[in-house]
Amino acid sequence: MALELNEAQELFKSAKNGDRRSLSRLMTSIESGNIPNLERKQCWTLGITGPPGVGKSTLIGQMISHWLVKGHRVAILALDPTSPVSGGSFLADRVRMDQADLSEEVFVRSIASGSNTGGIPNYLGEMCFALSECGWTRILIETVGTGQYDIRIFGYAQRVLLLDGPDRGDIIQAEKAGILELADFIAVNKSDLPGSESAVQGLKLSLGLSENEKRKVHLVSALEGTGIADLISTIDSCEINDSRRKIRMREMLISNWDSLLLNHSQIDLYLEKLCSGSITVNDAINSMVREIISRGE
């Protein structure tokens, strides 16, 4: 283990000096649990979430161009769903990001979501800290997609953008709580399609029911590039909302707790016992917790 940590530290040093290959290997090392010494200072992060197919990757491609012009270095951590059956992931989000391979100032890493129930691996925060220390000034996290209560991204991103589309039927019903309530920014993509304006008006009406609501609903086209500059201006001028710190800490705590249980060395044995009815869920949890404590994890 000490040897692996020393290697992670060397990779970190090389990555800070601009070596791209070392940066990629460093991300792999962090995924494996070998984390270098990081300062863990506050870093600029934006979570981008929304239903599958709404255009998150295409929008990110447009946003990259705008931030590059402003002199930023942009890193993208693109989460890809892991199959609960095969355990595999496609890891292909970067093919839809037009600017992903055009500049040395852009770094894209596809990450399997793994077995985490929130679709976000608990080492994501360490990746963000490492990227920030290596000089990346805009760190974007693209989630696998969202349902009404999928808010785990708030544990790892200072700012969160909810992207929706005009072609999902009653989006107010679908997103009436949870992610819509907490998102710092809201945008409707595919402004060139029928129904986009009415989707924006519907969201505005829904948000208007809350007191002190000041969020703007942006109408954008990731395909044509319209509305992107205004959205980025809103994002860049946004101050961090410290009132949500407790929510962020809760989601991070739950994520790490999930990881401890799901990566428990005896989880398959406990699942077999649960299937056979020889133990209860509470029995399994209590036993696993005792073993985690005894190992000092």
Written as six digits, the tokens of 222 are 């990731």
pLDDT for the residue numbered 209: 65
Q: Nearest-CA neighbor of 192 among 169, 225, 239?
A: 225
Domains in the chain with CATH codes: 1-37 (no CATH), 42-242 (3.40.50.300), 250-295 (no CATH)
∠ CA 196-198-200, rounded to 5°: 70
- pTM, whole model, 2 decimals? 0.81
Give every CB contact of residue 61 below 8 A, 6+ residues apart in sequence: 96, 97, 98, 99, 100, 222
Residue-by-residue pLDDT tens, the chain, 297 positions:
566 778 999 999 999 999 999 999 999 999 988 999 888 788 999 999 988 888 999 999 999 999 999 999 999 999 876 544 444 444 444 544 555 556 789 999 999 866 555 568 888 999 999 999 999 999 999 987 755 446 788 888 999 999 988 865 444 444 545 677 788 999 999 888 888 888 888 888 777 766 777 888 999 999 999 999 999 999 999 887 777 778 778 888 887 788 788 888 899 999 999 999 999 999 999 999 998 888 765
Please give the DSSP secondary-structure letter assigned to residue 85: T
